[in-house]
Amino acid sequence: MPQADLSAAPIDDAYGASPHDASDAQDAHWQPPRWRDALARLAANRLAVAGVVIIALAVFVSLAAPWLAPYDPNHAEPAARLAGVGTPGHWLGLDAQGRDMTSRLLWGGRTSLAIVVVSVLGACVASLALGLYAGYSRGLAAIAVMRATDLLFAFPMILLAINLATAFGAGPFTAGVTVLFSALPYLTRVVYANVRAEREREYVEAARALGASTFDIVAREILPNVLTPLVVYGTTLCGGMIVFLAGLSYLGLGVQPPMPDWGRMVSEGAKVMLTGGAHVATLPALAIVAVSVAFNWLGDGLRDALDPQG
């Protein structure tokens, strides 16, 4: 009986298919942008570069607040209260209690940025898990996940903050959880929509035909293509959450005194706006606007850099 010639038999790849089939699947696979090219496009965007510089500066001075702040943020000089910008030894003036504005701005940025960044990162991780599951699955559980997300869209986050403040007390925890649940439905929708679009593409169908498991398809094929819009939208959302956190602190639902926070500083400064202390509210408000706009510039730049054809 003649022996079969196996010398030319193709070696199976990880999915159990021949290299020719794998090559076809590779060609059908949408390739994410190369990071070197994306960085070059980002560097060519002036607004994005300005956003990076502002955010990097805000993060640096906030982290270095213990060394850069000229005074303890709660040290008060009542005799010099409401001293204006340019006061010797207090170049950004003092607030209504005689505390140095420079020190409080530096320490306040540390609080605001930490709460927003940690909360949005947590929301990104949670939305990635929820969006991947709901977008790729077709069962009732996936539908339930998205209906719960719709409920979060409809639920007033201020009420959540009030309930959390009642149960646990107003503070960084209440503010952080409220920011997380405020960002979660938006990010989950972004992941869900992109997973639904990627699920029907040719390279996913090819991987499925080659015998790839659901985990392999989601982790190796879909996930890399979903991260780009998530990073872009998450970066842009940080800008809005900076303003939202400031609003919570302004209403007394966020960071509590004497801990410095930009939103709380605006709230305290609003009481003395018309009595010679305009700088007390104006300076932290400018910091909020600058960082918020910087995150938006960076988000737009990342979108253009990572998806130049979009």
Question: Is 178 in contact with 160 (CB distance < 8 Å)?
Answer: yes
Q: What is the DSSP letter of 72?
A: -
pLDDT > 80? residue 307: no
Number of domains in the chain: 1
User: Alpha-carbon distance 268 to 285, whole Å?
Assistant: 12
197-227 b/e with 16+ CB inside 10 Å = b?
ebbebebbebbbebebeeeebbeebbbebbb
Most confident of 40-44, 124-128, 139-143: 124-128
Residue 1 lies in a domain: no
- By 3-state DSSP, what share of the chain in percent is helix, strand and coil, each rounded to 5? 70, 0, 30
* pLDDT tens sequence across 187-234: 999 999 999 988 888 888 888 888 888 888 888 888 888 998 999 999
17 belongs to a structural domain: no
The DSSP secondary structure of 115-177, one letter per residue, reads HHHHHHHHHHHHHHHHHHHHHH--SHHHHHHHHHHHHHHHS-HHHHHHHHHHHH-SSHHHHHH
Mean pLDDT, the chain, integer:
85
Specify if 6 maps to a domain: no
What is the CB neighbour count within 10 angstroms for residue 14? 12
Residues spanned by the domain of 199: 33-63+101-306
172, 115 Cβ separation under 8 angstroms: yes
Burial 254-270 (b: 16+ CB within 10 A, else e): bbbeebbbbbbbbbbbe
- Burial class, 106, CB count within 10 angstroms (exposed 0-12 / middle 13-18 / buried 19+): buried
Looking at the domain assignment, is residue 262 inside a domain?
A: yes
Q: Encode pLDDT of 236-283 as tens digits.
A: 999 999 999 999 988 888 888 888 999 999 998 988 888 878 999 999
* pLDDT for 78 beyond 70: yes
> What percent of the chain is predicted at pLDDT more than 90?
48
Residue 82 counted as domain residue:
no
In a domain, 179, yes or no: yes
234 to 73, 298, 301: CA distances (angstroms): 31, 11, 13
135 falls within a domain = yes
Is 198 inside a domain boundary?
A: yes
**Which CATH number belongs to the domain containing residue 221 in this structure?**
1.10.3720.10
